[in-house]
Amino acid sequence: MRSFEVETGEQGDAVHVTLSGDLDLSTAKRAEQAIEDAERAGPRTVVIDLRGLSFMDSTGLRVLVSADKRARRSNRRTVIVQGPAAVRRVFEITRLDERLDIVDSPDEIEED
């Protein structure tokens, strides 16, 4: 099992939260805390980059859906950078890929 890592950094008007390793019940709290900290910085857009994830379960999905709901309520944007196939499948099975703002690469994020 890979260890779970969280990195946060600003790029332009957005705060990027990069997750790597396994996002599951044991690591979801750390991911959620990092995303909430990024939101508190007040950016228009929070980018959650999943490209480094090797695994994500329903707990991880809940973290991302919660971030999206908070963003919509406060007129901000949460953009998810798609992870590898195993992670992508979780979005497809739940059909959340149709509801969430998901891109293949950070280069695809358009500034508002």
Summarize pLDDT for 21-43 with one digit per residue, the tens: 999 999 999 999 999 999 999 99
CB 14 within 8 A of CB 109: yes
Query: Which pTM does this prediction carry?
Result: 0.95
Domain residue limits at 50? 5-105
Residue 111, domain member (yes or no): no
CA quadruple 27, 70, 99, 104: dihedral, nearest 10 = -60
Q: What is the CATH number of the domain that holds 31?
A: 3.30.750.24
Instruction: Give a yes or no: residue 29 inside a domain.
Output: yes
Percent residues over pLDDT 70 in the chain? 96
Residue 69 belongs to a domain: yes
Q: Is residue 30 part of a domain?
A: yes
Say if strands 5-11 and 14-23 run parallel, antiparallel, or are unpaired: antiparallel
Structural domain count, the chain:
1
Rounded to an integer, the average pLDDT of 93-111 is: 91
Do 80 and 100 contact (CB within 8 A), yes or no?
A: yes
**In this predicted structure, what is the pLDDT of residue 112?**
53
